[in-house]
Structure 1
């Protein structure tokens, strides 16, 4: 069920019987010369809408702009400052709690959002408002991603390229895959910006001239479909597990 397509009486029926919602989040940021700036939010929405369709759980509209200042040197990147992003996500999650939702899965496809979504989840849990957790698609299938690609990226690499080839093939600039590979770098290790246990880089531009890593020519729509199906299965299982939990068991333990 997609919230924005429903009427308020229809949603009332959902809230009477269910208490779980999926909130897709991504970014609007550079993904190299071959992928659209909407890559992350397109992937997040793809997963959330598919799982909502398969399970009947509620999917909210997508949060399209995330914490992306580290991509700001590239044209068109948009970002929210981290405190603003956290407050915004917390606010809309409290909207859901007001209507009766007491457990939320942040269906995330942007690494820059992870720590902030976990912080929002902690805030809401500490206040016993609801239980919210962050889910990142590639983290749910790490072995498959490693098996499919010799060097998966991370940013704008073959795993994201393959996913967009599957979900929105018309948006992939197939004639620029070699340019993406040759103008970027293979990995963060190859950039040599980690020194003696410290990360010396702050921005993507510190590592790569065209904004991406990995070998984009290793991507195919078939690999994207394989990852999409495997990760979707994981998210369905997470939804069913979370829905089955007693709410009080999800709340903080008492002080010892």
Structure 2
């Protein structure tokens, strides 16, 4: 059930009987010359809405701008400061608790959001307000991602390309896939992102001229459908597990 489509009187039964909500989050940032800037939030919303449709859990409107300052050198990238993002997500989650929600899944599709969502979830749990956990679609199916692509790439690579080819193929510039590969960084290992145990870069532009990594020509809509179906199943299982937990069991343990 998508909250934005429902009249308020028709939400009463849900809030009386259910305590879980799905919050999709992504970014509006460069994804190379071949993908739309909406890539991450389109993916996150697709997962959250599909799982809400299958399970009946509540899906909230999507947070479309995230922590993306590391992509700022590329035209059109939007971002908010990490502290602003954390406070916004925490406030939104507290808003849901007013209606009776006490657990949420942050359905996330942007790596830059991950540590901040984890921090928000930990803070709300410590305050015993809500139990929020971050879910990243590709991390739920790592073996399948590795099996499908020779050179994956963490940003704008074949996994995200395949997902958008499946979700909305009209948004993919198919004639630019080879240019995306050749003008970016095909191999993550070649990018030398780690030196002597240290992550020595801060911006995407430090590693890739066109903003992407991986071999985008390895992507197809059929692979995107495989990824979507497999990760959706994982999110259904996670939501069901979380909904079944007693809230008291999700809170911090007493001091030893």
> Where on the TM-score scale, by shorter chain, does this alignment land: which range?
over 0.9
> 2:42 matched to which residue of 1?
42
Kept in 1: contact 2:188–2:214 (CA 8 A): no
Kept in 2: contact 1:188–1:207 (CA 8 A): no
| Helix, strand or coil at the partner of 1:37 | coil
| Helix, strand or coil at the partner of 2:252 | coil
Tell me how far apart the structure 1 counterparts of residues 144 and 151 of structure 2 sit (CA, whole Å): 13
| Helix, strand or coil at the partner of 2:34 | coil
Deviation for aligned residue 1:154: 1.1
Tell me if 1:199 matches 2:199: yes
Q: 5 Å matches for 1:1-256?
A: 1-256=1-256
Tell me how far apart the structure 2 counterparts of residues 253 and 13 of structure 1 sit (CA, whole Å): 32
Tell me how far apart the structure 2 counterparts of residues 21 and 40 of structure 1 sit (CA, whole Å): 20
Name which of structure 1's ranges 185-194 and 151-160 shifts more when overlaid on structure 2.
Answer: 185-194
- Deviation by residue 1:162-189 (Cα, 9 ceiling, x = unmatched): 0000001110000000000000012332
Tell me how far apart the structure 2 counterparts of residues 191 and 101 of structure 1 sit (CA, whole Å): 43
Tell me how far apart the structure 2 counterparts of residues 63 and 81 of structure 1 sit (CA, whole Å): 14
Tell me how far apart the structure 1 counterparts of residues 189 and 145 of structure 2 sit (CA, whole Å): 19
Stretches of structure 1 that go unaligned for 5 or more consecutive residues are none
Tell me how far apart the structure 1 counterparts of residues 143 and 176 of structure 2 sit (CA, whole Å): 28
Stretches of structure 2 that go unaligned for 5 or more consecutive residues are none
How many equivalent residue pairs? 256
Tell me how far apart the structure 1 counterparts of residues 102 and 127 of structure 2 sit (CA, whole Å): 12
Runs (4+) of structure 1 exceeding 4 A deviation are: none
- Deviation by residue 1:35-73 (Cα, 9 ceiling, x = unmatched): 000000000000000000000000000000000000000
TM-score where L is the length of structure 1:
0.99
The alpha-carbon distance between structure 1 residues 152 and 98, as it changes in their structure 2 partners (threshold 3 A), is: same
Deviation for aligned residue 1:28: 0.2
Kept in 1: contact 2:157–2:215 (CA 8 A): yes
Tell me how far apart the structure 2 counterparts of residues 4 and 12 of structure 1 sit (CA, whole Å): 14
| Helix, strand or coil at the partner of 1:133 | strand
Tell me how far apart the structure 2 counterparts of residues 237 and 192 of structure 1 sit (CA, whole Å): 36
Tell me how far apart the structure 2 counterparts of residues 144 and 230 of structure 1 sit (CA, whole Å): 8
| Helix, strand or coil at the partner of 2:143 | helix
Tell me how far apart the structure 1 counterparts of residues 98 and 39 of structure 2 sit (CA, whole Å): 31
Tell me how far apart the structure 1 counterparts of residues 186 and 201 of structure 2 sit (CA, whole Å): 16
Deviation for aligned residue 1:141: 0.2
